[in-house]
Structure 1
Amino acid sequence: MEKTKKELTYDELLQKVEAQELIIKELNEEKNAITNFEYFVKESPDLVCIGDTNGYYKIVNDGFTKVLGYSREELLSRPFLEFIHPDDLEKTLEAIKKLVSNYSYPAIAFENRFIKKNGETVFLQWKANLHTTNNLVYAIARDVTEIRKTQEKLLSSEKSLNEAQKIAKIGSWDFNLMTQELNWSNELYEIFEIESLPNDSELYAKYLSSFLPEDVEGLNRNVYNTITNKIPYEMEHRIILADQKTKWVFCTGVPIID
């Protein structure tokens, strides 16, 4: 005996159509989200990858090929440790070990150097996360080579300046009027024979205590005039050292307006 199908009312049909339309809309939104994410990963200037715990990349985006110069096939077919600078292998392995062996570190950040295909070195700043469900590592890296090179140049320039000041027995300083922070070069500590202490909040007081009272008045006038009229000052004055010896020094100040 055959059962007759129940005929749907107009309202029931309308609800069914609306439900199907909602499902289609959600599927389209999910598809668009996936497409947009894939586009973001593909076009990102950063290096985005997925790797396994055996040391191989599973997926790399175009950022890898652009920055490192290797083809996608070369990157996927070789252990990623082969691309890392030899001097950074140990710290990279330690970071990976921390990530895959201790779930209290679900994400890590570290920096290392890679060797590009042309032999050049590139500094990469990494953030990596272990997906415990599939045991894959999801990571993104940013090329910070220019930043590191700039820092190295600044450190080199600072070292050269300190050496030149030491030879010439010239010290330099800067004083921030907004923060009241006073910074001295190494040679200035030598001239005033004051111990160099990190973040010394008493440095300015120690500096003034080396002056004779009449020289402090002259200094204050010069500094006030420099700040008010935006002109440099020059003066010679005496300083009294801890052992009560006297030194004559020449100083100059230049206003830098931001």
Structure 2
Amino acid sequence: MENLSEIFDLECFFHLSPDWLCVAGFDGYFKKINPAVSKTLGYTESELFSKPIDSFVFVDDRSLTASKRESIKKNNPLYNFENRYVTKSGEIVWLSWISMPVQSQQLVFAIARNITDKKKLEEFSRASFIFNNKIEERIAPAQNGELTNGVKFNVFTDGRSLKPISELSIADQLWLYELETLVRKYIGKVDLSIVLLSSEMGLSERQLHRRIKNTTGVTPNNYIRRIRLHMSMEAINSGKYRTVSEISYIAGFETPAYFRKLFKEFYGRDVAEFLQ
């Protein structure tokens, strides 16, 4: 039989794998990593070897990650453990780990898959009600796009409705997640403009306008308005705000009267009903 190394170059596999392939010591430092680790995190190998692994883990995940590491050192393999790392530029990366200890060498062999896009889609589905054909918990259940009292919801009086989410590709959903995250970041700017958004998204104003329109079926201003209105309902459901003015300010509307008008068009009921 031919030598395995002649059939398959394991070192080549190690360098070409898109997944993280890591060897870590029981001391908490990387001992060997493949290029995917540096490529994802933006650090050089020397930088990654010079600091404890924990220093690259998202701060909120360090305690749980440390407890899992101690379990591995007690000869307990780790399967499908998810945690977050932080890149050199400050971005969050989600990883799913499989780790096997080798106690005789005080080493851990690990494989990690980047699941950031999967987590973004989950977050988009969980946090954004923009494409859902349902209303939030504090509004009566709907039938065929209507509230139980027969009032339409999620369609403004201009008749513009969104494309069904089933028609959106994964790439489009991820792009809209990034857009919604950006809108929420600048929600306090009453004059939030397509100029600011296009600059942040790395597109021209015309390109951004066209992509939002083609992806959602509505204009950028209409889509941003929907995000603001959903944020207003989130603020109401939080129980922290008790007046129309407070909710209007949180959602970034110029005046309470204008906000109240749009809220009723969108949800079919006056915002004051939810503040009683």
After TM superposition, the score normalised by the length of structure 2 is 0.48
User: Structure 1 segments of 4 or more deviating over 4 A?
Assistant: 158-163, 165-168
Residue matched to 1:117: 88
Partner amino acid, structure 1, of 2:111: I
Quick check: 1:51 aligned with 2:43?
A: no
| Matched letter for residue 114 of structure 2 | D
* 1:96-111 alignment, distance < 5 Å: 96-101=69-74, 103=75, 105-111=76-82
The one-letter code sitting in structure 1 at the alignment partner of 2:10 is F
2:48: which partner in 1? 75
Separation (CA, whole Å) in 2 of partners of 1:90 and 1:159: 35
Name the structure 2 match of 1:136: 107
Residues of 2 paired with 1:106 and 1:72: CA distance?
A: 26
Q: Which has the larger radius of gyration?
A: 1
Please tell me whether the aligned partners of residues 29 and 51 of structure 2 are also in contact (alpha carbons under 8 angstroms).
yes
Query: Residues 98 and 171 of structure 1: is their aligned pair in 2 closer, same or farther, counting only changes over 3 Å?
Result: same
Aligned AA (2:87): K
Distance 1:52 1:167 in 2: 52
Cα distance, 1:38 vs. partner? 1.1
Q: 1:65 aligned to 2:48?
A: no
Aligned pair partner of 2:62 in 89, 112, 115: 89
SS at match of 1:142: strand
- Rate the CA distance shift 1:43–1:168 in 2: closer, same or farther, 3 A: same
CA distance in 2, matches of 1:90, 1:162: 39
Relative contact order, CA 8 A, sep 6+: which one is greater?
2
Q: Is the 8 A contact 1:99 1:108 kept in 2?
A: no
Count matched residues.
146
1:161 shift after superposition: 4.6
State the Cα RMSD in Å.
Answer: 2.6
Structure 2: gaps (5+ residues): 149-276
**Amino acid of the structure 1 residue aligned with 2:119:** R
1:16-71 deviation digits (Å, cap 9, x = unpaired): xxxxxxxxx75xx14325x6111111110011110001110000100001111111
Which structure dedicates a bigger proportion of its chain to strand? 1
* Change over 3 Å in CA distance of 1:91–1:159 after alignment to 2: farther
- Which whole-Å CA distance do the structure 1 matches of 2:113 and 2:121 have between them? 16
Unaligned runs of 5+ in 1: 1-24, 174-186, 189-258
Tell me if the contact between 1:165 and 1:171 (Cα under 8 Å) persists in the aligned partners. Answer: no
Structure 1 residues 95 and 163, CA gap change in structure 2 (3 angstroms): same
TM-score normalised over the length of structure 1: 0.51
Answer whether contact 1:44 1:63 (CA < 8 A) is retained: yes
Cα deviation for residue 162 of structure 1 reads 8.2
CA distance in 2, matches of 1:169, 1:57: 54
The correspondence for 2:5, drawn from 12, 26, 31, is: 31
Query: How far, CA to CA, are the matches of 1:159 and 1:130 in structure 2?
Result: 45
C-alpha spacing 1:107/1:169, structure 2 compared with 1 (3 Å):
closer
CA distance in structure 2 between the partners assigned to 1:65 and 1:172 by the alignment = 51
Change (3 A) 1:60 1:166: closer
The alpha carbon displacement at 1:166 in A equals 5.0
- 1:132 and 1:32 map into 2 onto residues whose CA distance is 30
